[in-house]
């Protein structure tokens, strides 16, 4: 199962966690195989895309048999580094940040928010969802080396300076929930999720591309 991961297209890679979650459920219910049509129905990705995606994983479904659930699962576990825990920090314990701290990410994947930062004195020194909140001034001193990912839920204006400090401290990936388009060096990965834009885009699609 030696797949060259650099050959997996990014669009395919983004669907991996989705497939993984569904296959884990299948496995838990004792299923040994799954067809691309069943998968397609469950994850809402068309079956041609699923077949193409899976061909990158060396998983060739057999006609009338489908895919081997155990094979796929071990592939995903390895590819998504599920045997390795990724430590995460969260900056900005406001409404959104608080929701993330309460949300149990480790239920479905191996990530854990280890610590959080804010500047609001009323939040410093508290625990939210079991995660300690420190002052941002202590970022450099408190952020452990094993933390490689940061979630940004701060006001738009502070996103860039905080990003710069995080990168200086060795953060490799940022999940940016602020509307700011942050600048980062090439080796840093930013995934940008602007909830207001997503909502607006959904409403636009409903209006202009109503399903037949």
* Residue 85 φ then ψ, to 5°: -85, 130
86: β partners: 111
Contact call for residue 118 and ligand ATP (CB under 6 A): yes
Contact call for residue 115 and ligand ATP (CB under 6 A): no
**What is the rounded distance in angstroms from the CA atom of residue 114 to the CA atom of residue 122?**
20
String of b and e for 33-54 (b: at least 16 CB within 10 Å)? bbbbebbbebeebeeeebbebb
Contact call for residue 120 and ligand ATP (CB under 6 A): yes
Choice from 26, 93, 150, 166 touching ligand ATP (CB under 6 A): 93
Which of 50-58, 102-110, 155-163, 193-201 is the region at the interface with ligand ATP (rule: CB under 6 A)?
A: 155-163
State which residue, 16 or 175, has the beta carbon closest to ligand ATP. 175
**What is the rounded distance in angstroms from the CA atom of residue 67 to the CA atom of residue 39?**
10
**H or E segment at 112?**
strand 111-118
Show binding-site residues for NAD(+): 92-97
Which of 21-29, 53-61, 78-86, 114-122 is the region at the interface with ligand ATP (rule: CB under 6 A)?
A: 114-122
CB of 76 to ligand ATP, least distance (A): 34
Q: Is-contact 135 119, C-beta < 8 A?
A: yes
Choice from 119, 167, 184, 190 touching ligand ATP (CB under 6 A): 119
Report the phi/psi class of residue 34: left, alpha or beta, with left for phi > 0 and alpha for psi in -120 to 50: beta
- With tokens 């997996």, the residue in question is 8
**What is the rounded distance in angstroms from the CA atom of residue 92 to the CA atom of residue 12?**
31
Choice from 23, 72, 131, 136 touching ligand ATP (CB under 6 A): 136
Contact call for residue 94 and ligand ATP (CB under 6 A): yes
Choice from 2, 6, 29, 95 touching ligand ATP (CB under 6 A): 95
Choice from 47, 158, 188, 194 touching ligand ATP (CB under 6 A): 158
Choice from 3, 80, 96, 184 touching ligand ATP (CB under 6 A): 96
> Which residues are at the interface with ligand ATP (CB under 6 A)?
91-97, 117-120, 136, 153-155, 158, 162
């Amino acid at each position: 199962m030696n797949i060259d991961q650099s050959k997996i297209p990014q669009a395919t890679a983004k669907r991996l966690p989705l497939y993984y979650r569904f296959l884990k459920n299948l496995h838990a219910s004792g299923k040994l195989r799954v067809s691309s049509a069943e998968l397609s129905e469950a994850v809402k990705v068309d079956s041609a895309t699923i077949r193409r995606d899976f061909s990158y994983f060396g998983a060739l479904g057999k006609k009338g048999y489908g895919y081997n659930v155990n094979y796929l699962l071990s592939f995903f576990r390895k590819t998504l580094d599920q045997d390795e825990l990724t430590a995460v920090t969260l900056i900005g314990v406001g409404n959104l940040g608080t929701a993330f701290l309460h949300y149990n990410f480790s239920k479905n994947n191996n990530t854990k928010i280890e610590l959080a930062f804010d500047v609001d004195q009323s939040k410093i020194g508290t625990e939210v969802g079991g995660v300690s909140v420190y002052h941002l001034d202590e970022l450099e001193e408190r952020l452990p080396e094993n933390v490689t990912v940061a979630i940004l839920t701060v006001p738009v204006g502070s996103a860039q300076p905080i990003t710069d400090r995080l990168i200086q401290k060795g953060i490799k990936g940022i999940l940016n929930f602020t509307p700011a388009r942050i600048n980062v060096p090439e080796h840093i990965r930013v995934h940008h999720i602007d909830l207001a834009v997503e909502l607006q885009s959904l409403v636009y699609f409903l209006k202009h591309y109503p399903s037949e």
